[in-house]
A and B are shown apart, each in its own frame.
Chain A
């Protein structure tokens, strides 16, 4: 069964990947048939994507589909077993750590921090790849960090210790840190986890803005299919490490694909208010019959 999914997936990705899909800008990040995993088990199989500057790509799929692993591959934290990843046309492995950090920012799902750094200090950490040894942050660095905090409604909390914040506030601090890094590509693992409805909408709104104004490419894993349909330019739907759909939301997130991937009946309609896809589960009946 896995073999079948895999074949279908690579067929899907080769069919849909290369041609322009209405997104502006050049390709910032490209993965070509990457496979990788942990131990002997592949968690990502033959995935091909390209993300253009100014574009938001959502990676969706059930738990354990390989979303976070794919993000770790794209960030360079995990080396692919096979396939290539290119950032701005150069292989990822050709960048040294600092050069990579100036071009690409990553926000992990969990954001532990060991000591009582303040919110502003964490935001300023995003400036580190731009600073030489022995250097203190310049007025310009401070301005960038404060602006990033402003963007995520955190300015009043700048002097607070990060440990005093709620989970959602903490998440926003790390997103602000990634912004202060001023990257060409932002990789966000579950940026909407811990956030309430309003902040989910606001955060994706901010990243949309950033994608457009600074021509940043944003790749975000998410659980919320409706958020993906509403905010993303393109969606990669994953199951068992392979691509089960890739393209504009209405192409990738069809009722048929979603039902197969999530193993449950799914209704896909239109949200009358926004015109975006509206995705709702119908029931878990399929499991019993298949």
Chain B
């Protein structure tokens, strides 16, 4: 985790003397040496523009040809009906879920000091999915599923998170490799538990559970969109308030504490908030993996590691990425559809291996 063994000391640490390549002239005072409010705002404005452009493209294109202009001009046109009734909630749901997944990924990576952490990989999504499936089985004929499924997903995700975290402690320290292994095992375990539940429910429910598990944003209700957006926004604000503490946590628990961070309280906050956000997202959209891995990683390598910028950037970037992935899912084999979760996983699997190879040596001691 320490970034590898220290290299031998260079004389005086001055480039040039040691034959090392001279640093860029602006490297000491360069704009990227630290985060300013102006840089944060500028970067977020660009990302917001990218998100708006992606969302407009996602509204305009699809399996059915649609004219945005006609839809805006004529409230009675079929274009308007498709736009407002189908595409708009779908795009908004994709944006909300993608934002949640990327923000949660960034926060969890900071918490466990590991760029490979993500809700899907740490077994949080798996636990949440099991809770959701269990609730669907138990309450399939009862009203109030809207509230019960997300609540069950949240509860199970939280339990799974705590269990994974506890089991990954080796001699009181969080071991990064053990964490990934425990997460993988929990995912397999929850997957098996879901199949078990799925095999005892009736055929109709089996089909809808499988469809839900594949992950997607088809035909969400406005209430569902509002729930994910509200819980996502609230959770994001709670995490953003502690963004600087997440920076300090990169130094280690004890070091962060010595810089004034209440580490246990921070950890509780992040676990509870991320479980809630994941529970909300997956109860409506199923399991969509790797968004929380790819988006924060790319943004961190472009924008730096400061979570005061990384968290809001992940919000916008995750939304844009997921809306784009869903657009591909809708148009790639139109009029049929691909599951969006399959697209993100197909991108994410190789990406995970790539990060593991790139950073694994340094961060995990592989």
**Is B27 an interface position by the 8 A CB rule?**
yes
Contact residues, A136-175 vs B (CB, 8 A): 136-137, 142, 153-160, 162-163, 165-170, 172
* Tally of contact residues, A, Cβ under 8 A: 59
What's the interface size class on B, roughly? 35 or more
Asked if B33 contacts A118 (CB within 8 A), the reply is: yes
- Bound complex: CA A98 to CA B14 (Å): 35
Contact check, B244 vs A166: say whether CB atoms are below 8 A apart.
Answer: no
Closest to A172 in B: B13
B254 at the binding interface (Cβ < 8 Å): yes
Q: How far is the CB of A73 from chain B (nearest CB, A)?
A: 13
Binds A, one of B49-57, B121-129, B301-309: B301-309
The reply on A101 being an interface residue by CB < 8 A is yes
Q: How far is the CA of A125 from the CA of B305 in the complex (A)?
A: 13
A169–B3 Cα distance when bound, in Å, is: 14
CB of A62 closer than 8 Å to a CB of B: no
Residue of B nearest to A170 (CB): B6
The answer, yes or no, to whether B350 is at the interface (CB within 8 Å) is no
Cross-chain contact of A158 among B15, B28, B259, B362 (Cβ < 8 A): B28
* A185 to B283 Cα, complex, angstroms: 51
A117 touches B304 (CB 8 A): yes
Could you say which of B34-42, B145-153, B196-204 contacts chain A? B34-42
B298 CB to closest chain A CB, in angstroms? Answer: 13
Determine if A159 and B251 form an interchain contact, defined as CB atoms under 8 angstroms apart: no
CA distance A244 to B26 in the complex (A): 52
Binds B, one of A108-116, A222-230, A231-239, A273-281: A108-116
* Cβ-based interface call for B255 (8 A): yes
CB-based contact B258/A77 at 8 Å: yes
Contacts of A98 in B (CB 8 A): 260
**Chain B interface main SS type:** loop
Q: Does B178 contact A (CB under 8 A)?
A: no
- Asked if B254 contacts A77 (CB within 8 A), the reply is yes
Q: Is A261 located at the chain interface by the 8 A CB criterion?
A: no
Looking at the complex, which of A53-61, A194-202, A246-254 is the stretch in contact with chain B? A194-202
Kindly state whether residue A121 has any CB partner on chain B within 8 Å: yes
Q: Are B260 and A113 in contact (CB under 8 A)?
A: no
Compute how far the CA of A131 lies from the CA of B301 in the bound complex, rounded to whole angstroms.
Answer: 26
Is B233 in contact with chain A by the CB < 8 A criterion?
Answer: no
**Does A211 lie at the interface of the complex (its beta carbon under 8 Å from any beta carbon of B)?**
no
Contact A125 B247 (CB under 8 A): yes
Q: Are A155 and B28 in contact (CB under 8 A)?
A: yes
Q: Which residues of B contact A125 (CB under 8 A)?
A: 247-248, 251, 259
B27 to A156, Cβ gap below 8 A?
yes
Q: Which residues of B contact A105 (CB under 8 A)?
A: 258
Taking the complex as formed, is A12 at the interface, i.e. its CB lies under 8 A from any CB of chain B?
no
Which among A101, A155, A195 has the greatest number of chain B C-beta atoms within 10 A? Answer: A101
Chain A nearest Cβ from B53, distance in angstroms: 28
Q: Which of A100, A131, A133, A159 contacts B27 (CB 8 A)?
A: A159
User: Which B residues lie within 8 Å of A167 (CB)?
Assistant: 5-9
Residue B261 CB within 8 A of the other chain: yes
Residues of B within 8 A of A23 (CB): none
- Interface residues, chain A, with chain B CB atoms under 8 Å away: 72, 75-77, 97-98, 100-102, 104-106, 108, 110-121, 124-126, 128-129, 131, 133-134, 136-137, 142, 153-160, 162-163, 165-170, 172, 181, 194-196, 198-199
18 examples of A-B residue contacts, CB within 8 angstroms: A77-B254, A100-B260, A104-B258, A110-B2, A112-B252, A115-B110, A115-B300, A118-B32, A124-B34, A136-B37, A142-B34, A156-B28, A159-B23, A159-B26, A162-B3, A167-B5, A167-B8, A170-B6
* CB-based closest 3 A-B pairs: A167-B6, A112-B2, A101-B260
